[in-house]
């Protein structure tokens, strides 16, 4: 580990550096130079006297000891881990030692520094390789878990797997099972390699696999007995049906109903096949086999499938079915405000107003999209369930002296925000609820808005709404909301959901900044506004990002006649998809439209953003939700179909 991280806190670090005393600046400069030299292995450039006693001296010591591995003795590693037990350095050093000792074959040393099974596949393989002679049974058990995946594993696993195969702990049955997993995952190269490890007893099984690979429908014509003593049947049919269901669900379901009575396979394989069949039958509206789905689903008792079945009943406007399937949910799921709300809606439609009101009231106690929607149905203010943040001066003083806090501050001063984040969040994870609140207070007073939001998540401070939804960039949101005519609280809700208020957030897809704009979208919006293209880095500027994001959501609002629900969905999924959903939709109210959004991510995104905007508005109102509405009356009563499109 080189201890190099993305730099989402550069502005904070710069702001901190500008305010340091001169002596601190000198010490920090020496520390910064020493850390850079340590990373490069330029030990002669390190001024040991200048960094002695510095809060971050351990970071240089980390690189020095890491550089000595695997020759360093385990006792040196354990002493380092003990000395820096309250810092991320301890865990990083343990991991590095496992890697280096494992690569060097120093198994006894590895086991001395390991603290049980490590995290990470390569390290686990090193760990169980080290146990092959000391505890063969444990090594075999752990190695088989690592083996049973449908993708290639790191080279660190090769020695472990080869030894277990040589000892018979991984036999041909397990090779076949893994080959089926690889086939199911589309890892054809791995599947071919594994097939080459099988003996002649598996020849007919390999032929059956090739036959079904060439023609999905051949699954009804192969023998129900696959492999020696039929022990390969379960993995084979699970893998074969997996692909068949995705290619043609209706045909696959007909095939399964034909062959299922003949198969003697393990319950786990039968369950996996039927799970796929039910899921895709419901998602793809395969109605011809609905009786089979409804008869089989209760036997699986899978909460996700049961919730999907409720959603299909909602799409069918089958209100009696909605009630029946909600009642089949596990107690924990059934008590969720989402299903309390839909139970109320079904009861209302079926004429039981008193029971509906009770269910709405139960849902309305929660701070969520459906909790707020239930409160709207009852004409009540929203239940914010908000805790006021109160930390006394003694706790503030105590936390400010914590070594982890001092290291965080020092890392920010030398422009190492990624390391600072690691220090901070480890401190929050280890903190008691009281101390986590004190750390949240510290982040709030320091103006670390993005870190503050993450602190509430790591510390599970769910009701600390003023911290979870800070006033960061409020002036910019209000200004660009006014200029573009966009609800500023909607802008805040989008930014909170998109980046958790991290102005330099970068997504894996390349979206950037507070409102997570793609550079190409920023270029297009800049041309539209007649301003210079900010480029990939200029888009990280909060004002620029908010301006462009506000313009984009304004365009979406114009596209959907000012409807914030549809515009929010388009911000996440793209307008072409939302257009298609609206054109393909029967006329439905807002709640049924939200629940019918086919993308889980977008469905949750819309609910979160609209909930967040109501919270931001309530906080602007002093934490009072009186007069706050998640949606306008027009948005609640709109027809969610093609009539919502401004351009037909």
- Catalytically annotated residues: 498
Question: What does the alpha-carbon distance between residue 98 and residue 492 come to, in Å, rounded to a whole number?
Answer: 45
Which has the closest alpha carbon to 258: 218, 299, 307? 218
User: Integer distance in angstroms from the first to the last C-alpha of the chain?
Assistant: 55
Spell out a b/e string for 65-81, using b for 16 or more CB atoms within 10 Å of the CB, else e.
Answer: bbeebbebebebbbebb
Which has the closest alpha carbon to 273: 295, 291, 255, 298? 255
* Phi, psi for 460 (deg, rounded to 5): 55, 45
* Phi, psi for 506 (deg, rounded to 5): -125, 125
Q: Which residues pair with 517 in a beta bridge?
A: 512
HEC secondary structure over 558-593: HHCCCCHHHHHHHHHHCHHHHHHHHHCCCCECHHHH
What tokens appear for 17 in the block?
Answer: 């550096």
**Residue 578: left (phi > 0), alpha (psi -120 to 50), or beta?**
alpha
* Phi, psi for 71 (deg, rounded to 5): -80, -20
Peptide bond into 435 cis (omega under 30): no
CB 638 within 8 Å of CB 632: no
Spell out a b/e string for 504-516, using b for 16 or more CB atoms within 10 Å of the CB, else e.
Answer: bbbeeeebbbbbb
CB 107 within 8 Å of CB 101: yes
Question: What does the alpha-carbon distance between residue 449 and residue 458 come to, in Å, rounded to a whole number?
Answer: 14
For residue 278, the tally of other CB atoms under 10 A from its CB is 25
CB 498 within 8 Å of CB 514: yes
Residues in the chain: 648
* Phi, psi for 513 (deg, rounded to 5): 80, -175
Question: What does the alpha-carbon distance between residue 302 and residue 59 come to, in Å, rounded to a whole number?
Answer: 48
Peptide bond into 347 cis (omega under 30): no
What tokens appear for 364 in the block?
Answer: 């309305």
In the three-class reduction of DSSP (H, G, I as helix; E, B as strand; rest coil), residue 605 is classed as: helix
CB 72 within 8 Å of CB 61: no
Which has the closest alpha carbon to 64: 84, 41, 82, 44? 41
What tokens appear for 286 in the block?
Answer: 């395969």
For residue 237, the tally of other CB atoms under 10 A from its CB is 27
- 544's enclosing H/E stretch is helix 542-559
Question: What does the alpha-carbon distance between residue 63 and residue 618 come to, in Å, rounded to a whole number?
Answer: 49
Which has the closest alpha carbon to 182: 206, 146, 150? 150
């Amino acid at each position: 580990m080189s201890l190099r991280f993305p730099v989402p806190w550069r502005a904070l670090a710069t702001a901190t550096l500008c305010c340091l005393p001169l002596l601190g600046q000198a010490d920090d400069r020496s520390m910064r130079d020493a850390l850079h030299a340590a990373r490069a292995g330029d030990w002669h450039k390190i001024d040991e006297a200048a960094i002695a006693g510095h809060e971050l001296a351990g970071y240089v010591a980390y690189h020095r000891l890491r550089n000595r591995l695997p020759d360093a003795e385990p006792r040196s590693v354990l002493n380092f881990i003990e000395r820096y037990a309250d810092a991320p350095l301890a865990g990083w050093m343990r991991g590095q030692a496992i890697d280096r000792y494992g690569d060097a074959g120093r198994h006894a040393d590895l086991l001395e520094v390991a603290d049980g099974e490590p995290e990470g596949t390569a390290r686990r393989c090193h760990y169980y390789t080290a146990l092959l002679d000391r505890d063969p049974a444990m090594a075999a058990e752990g190695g088989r878990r690592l083996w049973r995946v449908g993708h290639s594993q790191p080279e660190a696993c090769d020695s472990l797997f080869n030894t277990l195969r040589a000892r018979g702990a991984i036999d041909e049955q397990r090779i076949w099972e893994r080959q089926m997993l690889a086939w199911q995952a589309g890892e054809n190269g791995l599947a071919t390699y594994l097939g080459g490890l099988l003996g002649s007893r598996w020849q007919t099984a390999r032929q059956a696999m090739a036959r079904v690979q060439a023609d999905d429908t051949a699954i009804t014509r192969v023998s129900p007995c696959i492999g020696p003593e039929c022990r390969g049947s379960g993995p084979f049919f699970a893998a074969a049906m997996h692909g068949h269901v995705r290619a043609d669900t209706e045909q696959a379901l007909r095939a399964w109903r034909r062959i299922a009575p003949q198969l003697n396979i393990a319950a786990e394989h039968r369950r996996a096949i039927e799970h796929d069949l039910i899921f895709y039958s419901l998602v793809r509206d395969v109605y011809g086999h609905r009786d089979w789905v409804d008869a089989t689903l209760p036997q699986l008792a899978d909460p996700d499938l049961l919730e999907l079945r409720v959603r299909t009943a909602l799409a069918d406007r089958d209100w009696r079915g909605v009630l029946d399937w909600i009642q089949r949910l596990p107690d924990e799921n059934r008590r969720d405000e989402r299903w309390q709300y839909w139970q109320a809606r079904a009861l209302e439609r079926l004429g039981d107003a008193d029971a509906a009101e009770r269910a709405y009231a139960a849902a309305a106690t929660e701070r969520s999209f459906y909790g707020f929607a239930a409160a709207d149905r009852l004409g009540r203010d929203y239940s914010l369930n908000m805790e006021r943040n109160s930390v006394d001066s003694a706790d503030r003083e105590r936390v400010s002296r914590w070594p982890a806090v001092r290291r965080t501050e020092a890392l920010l001063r030398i422009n190492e925000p990624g390391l600072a984040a690691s220090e901070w969040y480890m401190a929050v994870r280890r903190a008691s609820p009281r101390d986590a609140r004190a750390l949240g207070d510290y982040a709030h007073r320091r103006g670390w808005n993005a870190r503050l939001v993450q602190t509430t998540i790591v510390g599970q401070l769910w009701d600390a709404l003023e911290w979870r939804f800070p006033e960061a960039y409020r002036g910019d949101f209000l200004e660009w909301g006014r200029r573009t005519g966009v609800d500023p609280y909607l802008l805040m809700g989008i930014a909170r959901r998109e980046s958790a208020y991290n102005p330099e957030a970068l997504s894996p897809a390349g979206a950037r900044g507070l409102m997570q704009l793609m550079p190409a979208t920023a270029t297009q919006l800049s041309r539209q506004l007649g301003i210079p293209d900010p480029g990939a880095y200029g888009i990280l500027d909060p004002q620029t990002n908010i301006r462009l994001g506000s313009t984009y959501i304004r365009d979406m609002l114009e596209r959907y006649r000012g409807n914030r629900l549809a515009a929010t969905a388009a911000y996440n999924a793209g307008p072409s998809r939302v257009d298609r959903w609206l054109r393909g939709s029967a006329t439905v109210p807002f709640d049924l439209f939200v629940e019918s959004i086919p993308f889980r991510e977008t469905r949750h995104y819309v609910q979160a953003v609209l909930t967040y905007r109501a919270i931001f508005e309530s906080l602007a109102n002093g934490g009072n939700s009186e007069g706050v509405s998640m949606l306008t009356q027009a948005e609640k009563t709109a027809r969610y179909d093609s009539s919502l499109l401004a351009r037909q």
